[in-house]
Amino acid sequence: MKHAKQSKLKIGLTLASLSLIAGMLPVPVQAFDYPAPGDFAQGAKEWADNCGRCHNIRGAKELRDDQWITTMFHMRLRAGLTGQEMRNILTFLQGSNNPSTGVIVKTSTATGSATSGLSGKDIYSQTCIACHGADGKGVLPGVPDFTRKDGRLSKPDATLLKHVTEGFQSPGSPMAMPPKGGNSSLTEGDLKNVIEYLHQEFGS
Amino acid sequence: MKTSIFPLKPVAFAVLTALAALPAVAAADDLSQLRKTVETLQKQLQEVQKQLEEQQAQAKTEQPASRADVEQLQKQVSEANEWREPNTLVHLAGYADVGYEKTQGNNDDGSFTVGRFSPIFHFQYRDLVMLESELEFEVEDDGNTNTSLEYLTIDLFMNDYATLVAGKFLSPVGQFRQNLHPSWVNKMASAPPGFGHDGAAPVSDVGVQVRGGLPRMGGVRTNYALFVSNGPELSSEDGELEGIDAEGFNKDAEGNKVYGGRVGILPIPNLEIGLSGAWGEAAVSKIDGNEVDINDEGKRDYKVYDADFNYQLGSLGVRGEYVKSKVGSTSKGLAASGSANWTTWYTQAAYKFLPTKWEAVARYTDFDSAVDDRDVKQWALGINYIFTSNFIAKVNYELNDGKNNSAADDNRFLAQLAYGF
């Protein structure tokens, strides 16, 4: 039997008003020195592994950076995450929300066709695998299956490079792939290497 | 700043007026006087011209300085530290739902319904502590509004692996009540029988718990929750135990705490298996709807056992839970009676038809209550339309097989709009 006190509608309206007031409090924040930064790529994997198990995955842009902080501390308790796992996921969400300030993978933003020295396979394993999976079929609902003959890899390389460079949201996917997969240190040469690796590994 | 020649106009007008006023034939003295007057006016005109030029020059030098001031001010405002990194964060979350339901075979013409409005407040001080509270507003059939405190806890983040949670919390026993019951999370419009405010699974409790995630061991993730609480109270009807009120009492009336916990293991990503339970004592506080002195009633053993799982494989999600609550017998008190058990389990599968927004859901539940009229075996089938990740439309049909002529035997149609925020 439910144990709840009957109260007048007036009390309910008062409490509801308080809710609305709390929700409308302005929080013009830009950056926080807490919690400590986590690992973006690891956060992407942990986000993919945990959040969709209980509820529809919410995209990074559905909340502000400061709202993600309270939300992730709340979810740390609900999902039984460690503090580090929570910080990783928070870094991933904030980084995806605002790639220019939140991506922690490396500090510099690289351009040009020179490469970082990593192979396409190395970059895929470090940056892409969290969402696209080791088999290229995608580990999240809405993430494209690279192994399909008429799938994403059938598009021209110029289109793929544009999507990887600028970010892209597939139909049905809960959130967009962040620019450069969230790793701003990748150069155009690195991205071309990754695309070449995708064709070799998963293409027909 | 724009300059103007308008200041010269009155002077020129005065000169012309003076000249026009000269008589046609003037005397030599008058001409001398007039010459002086004109010279005086010329001087005044030159002074005015000089002042004007000075003003123009000054305006030219002030203009860039003024812009620099504005830019400086803008920079100072943008770098103001007052709200840049606040130590306290305030966040409002929660969920609500509205709907329609019609019960078959009960002369029910169907009714529009308001489910629950459940705002959740988060107040957080840095990464040290969080206060979180969920209120619940619910409109009853008679139009009155029920309010209740679903939970209110202060969470102290002690380290990466342990958080102290104190207050009224959702029961850590099982998964459905603490993680899956919000309407925007629950893929069905109703809770499985026995998992609502009606049955075998404990809802909430008042006490202290420690919970968190543990370091990975060989790729296996583990989480845990350990708690001690005031525990439930019991109700009796017609000389038999009728229900377990496990919704968080603010006083441990019978004087014995309940201890419990849950361990969740994730052997592979996206699969969680949980085992949980609670042990303690409880006593009857309500007989046939009337409150009685709980100290006059005999204490009974109280035990809960629970097992749950939750698995997500791409677009397919499968979950389930089994819970058994046992209450012992007593020979003391007005409600002296034998023991009673409540058992329920459910399993559910949901599949998203991507890239569309449609989702199909099927759920089976078997609820065995201590009160036979509430026993039910239920198939629930549903179609969902996921507008956004947090806004879902659900249409369900429940095939209920209960005791003949009991309310639990009636099939039911439900439609619901659920929104999480």
pLDDT score at B8: 52
Interchain proximity A69–B89, CB inside 8 Å: yes
A178 pLDDT above the threshold of 60: yes
Residue B1 lies in a domain: no
Residue B83 lies in a domain: no
A134 touches chain B (CB under 8 A): no
B171 and B272 inside one domain: yes
CA distance B84 to B78: 9
Contact in structure between B153 and B133 (CB atoms under 8 Å): yes
B20 and B73 inside one domain: yes
Interchain proximity A141–B224, CB inside 8 Å: no
The DSSP code sequence of B50-85 is HHHHHHHHHHHHHHHHHHHHHHHHHHHHHT--TTTS
B14 and B141 inside one domain: no
Could you say which DSSP state residue A126 is in?
I
Contact in structure between B274 and A53 (CB atoms under 8 Å): no
B28 and B144 inside one domain: no
> Average pLDDT of chain B?
88
Q: What is the CA radius of gyration of chain B?
A: 39
Interchain proximity A82–B148, CB inside 8 Å: no
Burial class (CB in 10 A: 0-12, 13-18, 19+), B60: exposed
Interchain proximity B165–A77, CB inside 8 Å: yes
Helix (H) or strand (E) holding B10: helix B8-20
> B-chain residues within 8 Å CB-CB of A59?
389
pLDDT score at A22: 47
Could you say which DSSP state residue A135 is in?
T
Domain count, chain B: 2
Q: The domain that contains B162 carries what CATH number?
A: 2.40.160.10
B4 pLDDT above the threshold of 60: no
B65 and B113 inside one domain: no
Alpha carbon of A93: minimum distance to chain B alpha carbons (Å): 15
Predicted confidence band at A20 (pLDDT cuts at 50, 70, 90)?
Answer: very low
Per-residue pLDDT tens over the stretch A67-115: 999 999 999 999 999 999 999 999 989 888 765 443 434 333 445 567 7
B287 touches chain A (CB under 8 A): no
Pairing of strands B284-287, B233-237: parallel
Q: Which of A1, A78, A81 to mutate to test the interface with B (most CBs of B within 10 A)?
A: A1
Interchain proximity B224–A80, CB inside 8 Å: yes
B67 and B115 inside one domain: no
Alpha carbon of B86: minimum distance to chain A alpha carbons (Å): 8
pLDDT score at A21: 46
Per-residue pLDDT tens over the stretch B174-220: 999 999 999 999 999 999 999 976 678 999 999 999 999 999 999 89
Last residue of a domain, one of B49, B78, B107: B78
Alpha carbon of A127: minimum distance to chain B alpha carbons (Å): 18
pLDDT score at A27: 42
pLDDT score at A17: 54
B72 and B121 inside one domain: no
| Helix orientation angle between A40-54 and A83-97, rounded to the nearest 10 degrees | 100
A143 touches chain B (CB under 8 A): no
Question: Which of B152, B129, B145, B96 lies closest to A20, judged by CA?
Answer: B96
Interchain proximity B145–A7, CB inside 8 Å: yes
pLDDT score at A96: 81
> A-chain residues within 8 Å CB-CB of B177?
none
Contact in structure between A143 and A111 (CB atoms under 8 Å): no
Which B positions 18-77 lie with beta carbon below 8 A of chain A? none
B83 pLDDT above the threshold of 70: no
Backbone angles phi, psi at A182, to 5 degrees: 95, -5
- Name the percent of chain B lying above pLDDT 70: 88
Interchain proximity B147–A15, CB inside 8 Å: yes
B67 and B122 inside one domain: no
Classify each residue of B385-418 as buried b or exposed e, where b means 16 or more C-beta atoms within 10 Å of its C-beta.
ebeebbebbbbbebebebeeeeebbbbbbbbbbb
Interchain proximity A80–B315, CB inside 8 Å: no
> B-chain residues within 8 Å CB-CB of A50?
270
Contact in structure between B91 and B122 (CB atoms under 8 Å): yes
B293 and B320 inside one domain: yes
Residue of A nearest to B143 (CA): A9
Q: How far is CA A56 from CA A198, B84, B146, in A?
A: 28, 32, 29
Per-residue pLDDT tens over the stretch A25-45: 444 444 688 999 998 888 888
The DSSP code sequence of A160-173 is HHHHHHH-B--TT-
Q: Flag the least confident range among A182-191, B357-366, B383-392, B405-414.
A: A182-191
> B-chain residues within 8 Å CB-CB of A52?
270, 312, 317
Predicted confidence band at A127 (pLDDT cuts at 50, 70, 90)?
Answer: confident
B352 and B272 inside one domain: yes
B346 pLDDT above the threshold of 70: yes
With respect to CATH, is domain A120-202 assigned 1.10.760.10?
yes
> Average pLDDT of chain A?
78
Residue of A nearest to B234 (CA): A1
pLDDT score at A105: 40
* Alpha-helix residue ranges (DSSP H) falling in B281-342: none
Structural domain including B49 reads 8-78
B259 touches chain A (CB under 8 A): no
pLDDT score at B164: 98
Residues composing chain B: 421
pLDDT score at A11: 54
Interchain proximity B185–A54, CB inside 8 Å: yes
Per-residue pLDDT tens over the stretch B311-325: 998 889 999 999 999
Q: How many CA atoms lie within 13 A of B270 on its CB side?
A: 18
Q: Enumerate the domain spans of chain A.
A: 40-102, 120-202
Tokens of B160: 């990466």
Classify each residue of A106-144 as buried b or exposed e, where b means 16 or more C-beta atoms within 10 Å of its C-beta.
eeeebeeeebbebebeebbeebbbbbbbeebbbbbbbbb
Of A5, A9, A54, the CB nearest to B148: A5
CA distance B400 to A56: 28
Helix (H) or strand (E) holding B28: helix B28-78
Contact in structure between B318 and B347 (CB atoms under 8 Å): yes
Interchain proximity A7–B117, CB inside 8 Å: no
Question: Which of B285, B287, B194, B291 lies closest to B240, judged by CA?
Answer: B287
pLDDT score at B304: 97
Per-residue pLDDT tens over the stretch B255-299: 889 999 999 999 998 899 999 999 999 999 999 989 999 989 999
> B-chain residues within 8 Å CB-CB of A44?
none
Residue B3 lies in a domain: no
pLDDT score at B65: 56
- Name the percent of chain B lying above pLDDT 90: 66
Contact in structure between B89 and B123 (CB atoms under 8 Å): yes
CA distance B213 to B326: 29
Predicted confidence band at B56 (pLDDT cuts at 50, 70, 90)?
Answer: confident
Of A55, A67, A77, the CB nearest to B91: A67
Interchain proximity A73–B179, CB inside 8 Å: no
Predicted-assembly ipTM surpassing the 0.85 threshold: no
> What residues contact B87, with CB distance under 8 A and at least 6 apart?
B125, B126
B73 and B92 inside one domain: no
